[in-house]
């Protein structure tokens, strides 16, 4: 144990020293006349750079009939535009030594480019072309529609998490658009019209709806020059409508059962409503997720997996613009019923609410959070992604540099308080995924 603690202390010291290399003062930002905000972090540790484009559009911006359309654009943005036709975005970037990816969430669609710093202008050219001149070609739309339909089908077949998560969201939310999955409903995917797609792209892929982060071996003056040359001419659009729907207070437990013949043992998901990421309770809730499920010494692992009640136990709380859910997912061991697993899981949650946690447990997860945090901040990729994430979810990238202090301030009383406040039965939705439904008692 002493050797582990010594190593941990040394690691924290190293990571602290590393993190001190980047401060809020190292980040520059400017906003183009069309409303696009650009943040720049000069870091010459390696001769590479990242460009992250955070578009403020995700499944929360959709309405019934066009669900899944945000994720669809994650595909379409690689299918050709005015200057760079089909497949040329990837080919051009790869020829310059770069690579890319993208992801869509309930809140954001994010495009990531990694490249040698001397390819910076090429990346600006590629991104400006697909923002302003994306070719929403009918044949390409139909081809990509089929890809997304297949992705939805195979995802639900292959992932018990995705299947039960979709069902639980559907009962936990009755009004807010978080109630549908990011990939959308099958019938909506089949029904998007070209006009739907064109209007959605025009509205949400407007420069005034984006935050761009560039980190790496770049100079602020050069980034400004290229941003003015390539991004500034793209016209702004009317700002998208705000998401006005507020999920009503849940006043009693909700339940959903999902039958899936291929499931060998029951899966149980619990979901509790929690505030948006910008809320003061975020850090305590985030640490509570770790206390429950992070590592072999976590509460759920010891109570469920070590005792062979479950083969897996995990927690998840997405960063979120609006109040969202705190998920607990467990998978039963052979011979354990869904009801037994559910009751044992709830017993552990109630124990935290009733008795609290120990100082040692809290310090352990704080240390783990800090190590992961500083490890992420060691790379230009991690810096770019984290700067944009804090800018959008916490209101300012400067909050990133307060995160270690915010975690350190959380007390055992805070952990018990948030458990008592949010992880209660009336605020809970329960999902069971199994091959057969248990009989009525």
Quick: pLDDT tens for 74-88.
Answer: 999 999 999 999 999
Please indicate, yes or no, whether residues 350 and 225 belong to a single structural domain of this protein: no
Distance CA(26)–CA(20), nearest Å, equals: 11
pLDDT tens-digit map of 17-56: 444 468 999 999 999 999 999 999 999 999 999 999 999 9
Let me know whether 275 and 369 are in one domain: yes
Is residue 5 in some structural domain?
no
Residue 6 lies in a domain: no
Neighbouring residues of 195: CB distance < 8 A, sequence distance ≥ 6: none
DSSP assignment of 142-208 equals: HHHHHHHHHHHHHHHHH-HHHHHHHHHHHHH-SSSGGGS-TT--HHHHHH--HHHHHHHHHHHSSGG
Residue 372 lies inside a defined structural domain of this protein = yes
Per-residue pLDDT tens digits of the chain, which is 441 residues long: 333 333 333 333 434 444 446 899 999 999 999 999 999 999 999 999 999 999 999 999 999 999 999 999 999 999 999 999 999 999 999 999 999 999 999 999 999 999 999 999 999 999 999 999 999 999 999 999 999 999 999 988 889 999 999 999 999 999 999 999 999 999 999 999 999 999 999 999 999 999 999 999 999 999 999 999 999 999 999 999 999 999 999 999 999 999 999 999 999 999 999 999 999 999 999 999 999 999 999 999 999 999 999 999 999 999 999 999 999 999 999 999 999 999 999 999 999 999 999 999 999 999 999 999 889 999 999 999 999 999 999 999 999 999 999 999 999 999 999 999 999 999 999 999 999 987 776
Residue 148 lies in a domain: yes
Please state, in angstroms and rounded to a whole number, the distance separating the CA atoms of residues 63 and 75: 20
Same domain for 227 and 133?
yes
H/E stretch holding 113: strand 109-116
Taking the whole predicted model, whether its pTM rises above 0.75 is answered as yes
Q: Is residue 126 situated within a structural domain? A: yes
47 with 181, same domain: the answer is: yes
Q: Are residues 50 and 178 in the same domain?
A: yes
**183 and 293 inside one domain:** no
Please list, in sequence order, all residues whose beta carbon lies within 8 angstroms of the beta carbon of residue 149, skipping any fewer than 6 positions away. Answer: 186, 189, 190
- How many structural domains does the chain have? 2
Kindly state whether residues 361 and 278 are assigned to the same domain: yes
Residue 247 lies in a domain: no
Whether residues 205 and 305 share a domain: the answer is no
275 & 414 share domain? yes
Q: Which domain holds residue 383?
A: 254-434
Same domain as 146, residue 86: yes
Residue at 418 is within a domain: yes
10 is a domain residue: no
CATH number at residue 274: 3.30.830.10
Edge-to-edge strand ranges of the sheet holding 267-274: 254-259, 428-434, 267-274, 324-332, 310-316
Which of 176, 196, 231 is where one domain is finished?
Answer: 231
Of 216, 231, 246, which closes a domain?
Answer: 231
Residue 296, C-beta contacts closer than 8 angstroms, at least 6 positions apart: 302, 305, 306
Show the tokens assigned to 389.
């994430």
- Asked if 378 and 345 sit in the same domain, the reply is yes
Same domain, 182 and 147: yes
């Amino acid at each position: 144990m002493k050797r582990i603690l010594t190593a941990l202390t040394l690691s924290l010291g190293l990571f602290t020293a590393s993190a001190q290399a980047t401060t809020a003062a190292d980040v520059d930002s400017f906003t183009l006349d069309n409303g696009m905000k650009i943040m720049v972090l000069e870091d010459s540790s390696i001769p590479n750079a990242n460009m992250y484009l955070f578009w403020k559009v995700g499944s929360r911006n959709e309405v019934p009939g066009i669900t899944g359309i945000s994720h669809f654009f994650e595909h379409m943005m690689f299918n050709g535009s005015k200057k760079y036709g089909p497949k040329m975005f990837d080919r051009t970037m790869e020829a310059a030594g770069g690579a890319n990816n993208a992801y869509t969430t309930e809140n954001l669609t994010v495009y990531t480019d990694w490249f040698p710093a001397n390819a910076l202008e090429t990346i600006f050219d590629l991104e400006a072309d697909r923002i302003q001149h994306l070719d929403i070609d009918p044949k390409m739309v139909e081809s990509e529609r089929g890809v997304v339909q297949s992705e939805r089908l195979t995802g639900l077949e292959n992932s018990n998490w995705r299947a039960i998560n979709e069902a639980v969201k559907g009962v936990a939310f009755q009004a807010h658009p978080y109630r549908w999955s990011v990939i959308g409903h099958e019938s909506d995917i089949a029904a998007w019209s070209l006009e739907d797609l064109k209007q959605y792209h025009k509205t949400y892929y407007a420069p005034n709806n984006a935050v761009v982060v560039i980190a790496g071996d770049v100079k602020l003056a050069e980034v400004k020059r290229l941003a003015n040359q390539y991004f500034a001419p793209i016209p702004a659009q009317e700002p998208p409508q705000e998401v006005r729907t507020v999920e009503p207070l849940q006043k009693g437990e909700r339940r959903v059962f999902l039958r899936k013949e291929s499931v060998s043992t029951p899966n149980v998901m619990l979901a509790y409503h929690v505030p948006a990421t910008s809320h003061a309770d975020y850090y305590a809730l985030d640490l509570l997720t770790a206390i429950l499920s992070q590592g072999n010494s976590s509460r759920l692992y010891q109570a469920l997996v070590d005792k062979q009640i479950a083969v897996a136990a995990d927690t998840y709380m997405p960063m979120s613009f609006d109040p969202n859910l705190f998920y607990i997912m467990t998978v039963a061991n052979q011979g354990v019923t869904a009801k037994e697993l559910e009751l044992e899981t709830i017993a552990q949650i109630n124990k935290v609410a009733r008795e609290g946690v120990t100082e040692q447990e809290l310090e352990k997860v704080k240390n783990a959070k800090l190590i992961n945090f500083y490890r992420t901040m060691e790379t230009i990729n991690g810096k770019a992604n984290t700067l944009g994430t804090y800018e959008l979810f916490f209101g300012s990238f400067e909050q990133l540099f307060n995160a270690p202090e915010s975690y350190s301030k959380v007390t055992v009383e805070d952990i018990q308080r948030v458990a008592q406040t949010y992880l209660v039965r009336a605020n809970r939705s329960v999902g069971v995924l199994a091959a057969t439904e248990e009989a009525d008692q």
